[in-house]
Amino acid sequence: MATPDSDWLTPNWLAEGAAHIWRPYCQMQTARPPLPVVATLGSRLVLADGRELIDGLASWWTACHGYNHPHIAQALRDQIERMPHVMFGGLAHEPAYRLAKRLADLLPGDLSHAFFAESGSVAVEIAMKMALQFHINRGAQTNKGAGRTRFLSFRGGYHGDTLATMTVCDPEEGMHSLFSGVMPAQVIADLPRDAESEAALDALLAVRGEEIAAILVEPLVQGAGGMLLHGPETLRALRRLADAHGVLLIFDEIFTGFGRTGTMFAMQAAGIEPDIVTLSKALTGGTLPLSAAVASTRVFEAFLSDDPEAGLMHGPTYMANPLACAAANASLDLFEDGAWRADVARVSAALTEGLEPCRAAPGVVDVRVMGAIGVVEFDAPVAVGDLCARFVEEGAWIRPMGKVIYLTPAFTTPDTDLALLTRAVRKVVGVAHPLD
């Protein structure tokens, strides 16, 4: 572990920059000051005063292999010396081409045409644009389909903070209700969980299906909307409904992809594939911003034509950044030996054992675990700032959201650190346990 030096102990940058930084999801007038962090290693954050916190979140679900993994660090050093960035228009480079091939091999079915961008929200926007244009392109040939201008998404969903992605988030819980009316309204429904709710969604699609370009869902876990779980049968129902109504199906695996739910991709638990999948967060093992919208062959081929306008007119400046793609390739190397499966199972067992006693705590309405995701849900929204401060006293970095305290640690988090994390949750929610 690195040792703090005197610069870290007197972080002038913090005082000098504080008046000029606009922080995320934040009422800047009343928010507690942020914690200055000066280094990361493995499952830990090192603060400016030398304290170490066990990270229960893996930096918003990105750092799946833990921080500063030497294999990813070496790949980044090699790539930065050779070519940190080059434009993707008219040029090709190995890191992106290799990554596209590897993602195609890794993803089930024929999800095999990757369009790269820099953030999750932008990947979702691209997937939405692909779906709209899929119908426009096909409509140009069949004179049908050009009226499909809306999306069907679900209560509890979260797909990003940009303008178009805000419209497909949960309209009340999705942090964006202020902006209702600014952008076109989408069709927001309840997830089908049984035959009855599948029939209700089928009836909705019978009426509005012709307007819908695609159904958009986070498979198995609605993450930022409150870590809400559903079963594989829901995904199979959505596949059936999409096919029956000529609608595309988009899975947003930005949170669930790369092992988080126990399978490489959440869709694999259902044995079905969407027409487009979005990936980001853990794609680079938590090192650099990169995302992808990966389309099936059927979707990709709808863009092939003698007509230049039928192509996808999109190209972010930093698209397929070689450094980020090198990090993603190195992260995929780390998945190759399959050891992550045992790690996720180990984390899952530790979260189940450590969080289950929280059921007895005041205000707790549910405790649930899926893969390397552990959730304690309350009957009302929790005081995020106060709880964060309490967790820091316990040596843990845990930032609740809405009604849930949750843990999404790195898969490589040692047992002792997992024990500290769950003990911190038990202590803060106020349950005594023989383990403590």
Ligand X SMILES: *Cc1c(COP(=O)(O)O)cnc(C)c1O
Query: One of 158, 170, 275, 417 is an active-site residue; which one?
Result: 158
With CB under 6 A as the contact rule, which of the stretches 93-101, 119-127, 204-212, 303-311 interacts with ligand X? 119-127
The CB-of-281 to ligand X minimum distance in angstroms stands at: 6
Return the residue nearest ligand X (CB atom).
Answer: 120
Closer by beta carbon to ligand X, 159 or else 239? 159
Task: Based on the residue annotation, tell me whether 281 is a catalytic residue of this protein.
Answer: yes
Give the distance from CA 26 to its chain's centroid: 20
Question: Which 279-308 positions form the footprint of ligand X (CB under 6 A)?
Answer: 280-281
CA distances from 356 to 297, 350, 367 (A): 44, 10, 6
Closer by beta carbon to ligand X, 67 or else 255? 255
**224 touches ligand X (CB under 6 A):** yes
Give the distance from CA 88 to its chain's centroid: 25
Helices (H) and strands (E) in the chain, counts: 14, 16
Give the HSE-up count for residue 244: Cα atoms under 13 Å, Cβ half-sphere.
16
Closer by beta carbon to ligand X, 224 or else 350? 224
Query: One of 275, 281, 406, 417 is an active-site residue; which one?
Result: 281
Please select the residue that binds ligand X; options are 42, 56, 95, 120, rule is CB under 6 A: 120
Please select the residue that binds ligand X; options are 134, 255, 265, 335, rule is CB under 6 A: 255
Return the biggest CA–CA distance within the chain: 70
Closer by beta carbon to ligand X, 255 or else 340? 255
How many other β-carbons are positioned within 10 Å of the β-carbon of residue 269? Answer: 18
Task: Based on the residue annotation, tell me whether 427 is a catalytic residue of this protein.
Answer: no
**124 touches ligand X (CB under 6 A):** yes
Two structure tokens written together for 103: 């993602």
Q: Dihedral through CA 249, CA 254, CA 255, CA 260, nearest 10?
A: 90
Please select the residue that binds ligand X; options are 43, 62, 119, 137, rule is CB under 6 A: 119
Angle at CA 16, nearest 5°, toward 12 and 22?
Answer: 125
**223 touches ligand X (CB under 6 A):** yes
With CB under 6 A as the contact rule, which of the stretches 154-162, 314-322, 348-356, 358-366 interacts with ligand X? 154-162
Closer by beta carbon to ligand X, 124 or else 323? 124
Closer by beta carbon to ligand X, 93 or else 281? 281
**326 touches ligand X (CB under 6 A):** no
Evaluate whether 107 touches 280 at the Cβ level (below 8 Å): no
The CB-of-284 to ligand X minimum distance in angstroms stands at: 11
The CB-of-158 to ligand X minimum distance in angstroms stands at: 6
Task: Based on the residue annotation, tell me whether 129 is a catalytic residue of this protein.
Answer: no
CA atoms of 333 and 321, how far apart (whole Å): 18
How big is the chain by its Cα radius of gyration, in Å? Answer: 22
Evaluate whether 185 touches 231 at the Cβ level (below 8 Å): no
Spell out, one character per residue from 158 to 177, where the chain touches ligand X: x when CB under 6 A holds, - when not: xxx-----------------
With CB under 6 A as the contact rule, which of the stretches 84-92, 218-226, 305-313, 331-339 interacts with ligand X? 218-226
**357 touches ligand X (CB under 6 A):** no
The CB-of-374 to ligand X minimum distance in angstroms stands at: 17
Question: Which residues contact residue 255 at a Cβ distance below 8 angstroms, ignoring those fewer than 6 apart?
Answer: 61, 218, 221, 223, 224, 281
Task: Based on the residue annotation, tell me whether 252 is a catalytic residue of this protein.
Answer: yes
**Which strands make up the sheet holding 404-407, listed edge to edge?**
364-370, 373-378, 404-407
Query: One of 55, 67, 170, 252 is an active-site residue; which one?
Result: 252
Q: Are strands 228-229 and 221-222 parallel, antiparallel or unpaired?
A: antiparallel
Query: One of 25, 101, 144, 436 is an active-site residue; which one?
Result: 25
- Classify 374 as helix, strand or coil: strand
**408 touches ligand X (CB under 6 A):** no
Question: Which phi and psi angles does 27 have, rounded to 5°?
Answer: -85, 105
Residue 309 gets which letter from DSSP?
G
**121 touches ligand X (CB under 6 A):** yes
**218 touches ligand X (CB under 6 A):** yes
For 316-339, letters b (16+ CB in 10 Å) and e give: bebbbbbbbbbbbbbbbebbeeee
**56 touches ligand X (CB under 6 A):** no
The CB-of-235 to ligand X minimum distance in angstroms stands at: 14
With CB under 6 A as the contact rule, which of the stretches 4-12, 152-160, 363-371, 379-387 interacts with ligand X? 152-160
Return residues touching ligand X (CB under 6 A).
119-121, 124, 158-160, 218, 223-224, 252, 254-255, 280-281
Name the residues annotated as catalytic: 25, 158, 252, 281
